[in-house]
Amino acid sequence: MSLLEVRQLSVRFPVRRGLFGGVRAWLRAVDRVDLEIQTGETVGLVGESGCGKSTLGRAILRLIEPADGQIIWKDTDITTLSGRELRQWRRQAQIIFQDPINSLDPRQTVGDAIGEALDVHKLAPNRRERQDRIAALMESVGLDPSRASDYPHEFSGGQRQRIGIARALAVQPDLIVCDEPVSALDVSIQAQIVNLLLDLQRTRGIAYLFIAHDLALVEHISRRVLVMYLGRVVESADATELLHHPLHPYTQALISAVPVLDPDSRRKRIILGGEVPSPINPPPGCAFHPRCPWAEPKCKSIAPALREVKQGHKAACHLITADNSTPGNPTATNT
């Protein structure tokens, strides 16, 4: 049984006429997404800004209400939970936000920020137990417990992200949504935070939904990767398979932009023209066809289904041939 299974999840936001006007249109931020995460697994989620990655992560935690679909946690559909039941479930799933400074209350000490979840869920029976648990959480993420009375502005960016991780760990969750947790940090600090997350996963068995732009980083930390474009998943596969044998032209373009150290590398850069279409009025057929270098007439009228091309590798593209190659990856095979 999966830890988490998302079925045909959609999130829409109303676009209104003026401040108090009626609904003029609906913005499709997430459009019929399927996702599955096993216990202790890391699933990567990549795509350009505005593709719906963060919205999907927050919808899974019910921080944003989905319009359609199901979110199955073990054997419970959490889209039906409310009030006390939903609050109890949230002990099992937490989030680490992208911006470590804006995710912390500047008027609250670090100890109180970490201990807030203990108070909400009544996990510390007395003040001494609360202090001991806060100290243990700070130590587990590499922070000095003696600084529990300090305020967020007294810490560096990397330290503030460690505070965010400690806060997420306070309720001993089974799943943490990592919403671009290192994108605002220096490269050297990024490596430290990623290694910390990997160590915590090994010792605590936590599952991660890791949202990021950096495909090389996602390959390093994830077992499986999903690629999103305009609110939909266009490709999913094992991390190594996806990075070395991408099938969807959009995935190929993303990978071609990843810097390589080899100056003699023959990787061809794929430059995408135009802008990402509006999610309020997406193009007919394949949403990527206005920017695809190899789009065919049927791409403009028929939306491709996300289908399993080979074992564990799914893609939504009309251009995939019988030998599992595409114009941007002509050497792909069934292996």
In tens, the pLDDT along 181-197 reads 998 888 889 999 999 99
In tens, the pLDDT along 271-293 reads 787 788 889 989 999 999 999 98
| pLDDT at position 330 | 57
| pLDDT at position 334 | 45
Which own/partner contact pairs does 117-125 have at CB distance under 8 Å and 24+ positions apart? 117/167, 117/170, 117/171, 118/170, 118/171, 120/87, 121/87, 121/88, 121/91, 121/171, 123/170, 123/171
What sign results for the dihedral spanned by CA atoms 247, 252, 258, 261? positive
Identify the residue whose tokens are 């502005």.
153
Among 268-272, 280-284, 302-306, where is mean pLDDT lowest?
268-272
- Mean pLDDT of the chain, nearest integer: 91
DSSP secondary structure string for all residues of 132-183: HHHHHHHHHTT--GGGTTS-GGGS-HHHHHHHHHHHHHTT--SEEEEESTTT
Both tokens assigned to 310: 């080979």
Number of other residues whose CB lies within 10 A of the CB of residue 311: 9
CB–CB of 267/210 below 8 Å?
Answer: no
313 beta partners = 310
In tens, the pLDDT along 202-248 reads 999 999 999 998 888 898 899 999 999 999 999 999 999 999 899 99
In tens, the pLDDT along 39-84 reads 999 999 999 888 999 999 999 999 999 999 999 999 899 999 999 9
CB–CB of 56/20 below 8 Å?
Answer: no
Amino acid at 148: A
Task: Note the pTM of the prediction, 2 decimals.
Answer: 0.91
- Dist. CA 287–CA 48, nearest whole Å: 14
